[in-house]
Amino acid sequence: GAGVSQTPSNKVTEKGKYVELRCDPISGHTALYWYRQSLGQGPEFLIYFQGTGAADDSGLPNDRFFAVRPEGSVSTLKIQRTERGDSAVYLCASSLTYGAENYGYTFGSGTRLTVV
Amino acid sequence: AQTVTQSQPEMSVQEAETVTLSCTYDTSESDYYLFWYKQPPSRQMILVIRQEAYKQQNATENRFSVNFQKAAKSFSLKISDSQLGDAAMYFCAYRTPASGSRLTFGEGTQLTVNP
């Protein structure tokens, strides 16, 4: 696609439920990143994929968070047993390949997750 | 820990005037990349300008320029001839080889442009 697409744009879920957030990167971009942006804060790194594999998942806060990218394009961020503290905007970004991030990523518009 | 500090939570400027947004960072590495991103209400982070630490010349992109002071670990953004469309949240960020592909962001500065 022309840009990074994230769906849904907004998601409201009840505490304890499971959610999936989807990211469709720019066609041909092998590197994909997830960030979490809490209210009034800058984005914080969660995980980075190079192709199908998670090259760096050190930013995932705990084992309730998991992400996959099975075919090296679309990625899904999965959150189990959601908590109110998980409420945030989840941003996805992509870049052409490793090293290209030195020129900046292309971000999507994010998914605003609200846990009630 | 590597950090980015934006000491101005909010700034305002009159249309057509110039404004400077401050950013300081803390890293022990000598090679890194610095960025300014703009986030309008649409939430999409848009790259405004980037600077490579090994380059002494300050980067410029049209009305946007930076003042990069490596010894002081300072990376300020100057917006000239401010336009209403410049109103947004601005984030300073950097990447070092040791941090892999992750960017470390500051907490942002909300810029208001007054007509």
The answer, yes or no, to whether residue A1 has pLDDT greater than 80, is no
Q: Considering CB atoms only, which of B50, B91, B105 is closest to A103?
A: B50
Instruction: Provide the residue ranges of all domains of chain B, joining segments of one domain with +.
Output: 3-114
Q: Is the domain defined by B3-114 classed in CATH 2.60.40.10?
A: yes
| Tokens describing residue B88 | 């947004």
Could you give the dihedral angle defined by the CA atoms of residues A8, A12, A17 and A22, in that order, rounded to the nearest 10 degrees?
10
A89 membership: H or E segment, kind and range: strand A88-95
What is residue B82's predicted lDDT score, i.e. its pLDDT? Answer: 98
Q: Is the pLDDT of residue A56 over 70?
A: yes
Look up residue B58 and give its DSSP letter: P
pLDDT at B100: 76
Q: Are the beta carbons of A79 and A61 closer than 8 angstroms? A: no
**Amino acid B36: pLDDT:** 97
- Distance separating alpha carbons of residues B113 and B111, to the nearest angstrom: 7
User: How large is the average pLDDT for residues A94-107?
Assistant: 78
Chain A neighbors of B42, CB-CB under 8 A: 109
Residue A32 has pLDDT above 90, yes or no: yes
Per-residue pLDDT at A10: 97
The residue length of chain B stands at 115
How far is it, in rounded angstroms, from Cα A60 to Cα A58? 6
> How many Å apart are CA A69 and CA A32, to the nearest integer?
9
Chain B touched by A97 (CB under 8 Å): no
In the block, which residue shows the tokens 């960017």?
B103
Instruction: Give the pLDDT confidence of B13-71 residue by residue, as tens digits.
Output: 999 999 999 999 998 888 899 999 999 998 999 999 999 999 889 999 999 999 999 99
A with B: how many residue pairs have Cβ under 8 Å apart?
63
The pLDDT of residue B29 is 87
Residue type, A38: S
- Cα separation, B115 vs B107, whole angstroms: 26
* Minimal C-alpha gap between A71 and chain B (Å): 20
Which secondary structure element, helix H or strand E, spans residue B42, and what is its range?
A: none
- Taking an 8 Å cut-off on Cβ atoms, the answer to whether B4 and A33 are in contact is no
Domains of chain A: 5-99 (2.60.40.10)
Closest chain A residue to the Cα of B35, Cα to Cα: A104
Q: What is the mean pLDDT of chain A?
A: 93
- Tell me the helices (H) and strands (E) count for chain A, helix number first: 0, 11
Confidence of residue A105 (pLDDT cuts 50, 70, 90): confident
Q: Is the pLDDT of residue A22 over 60?
A: yes
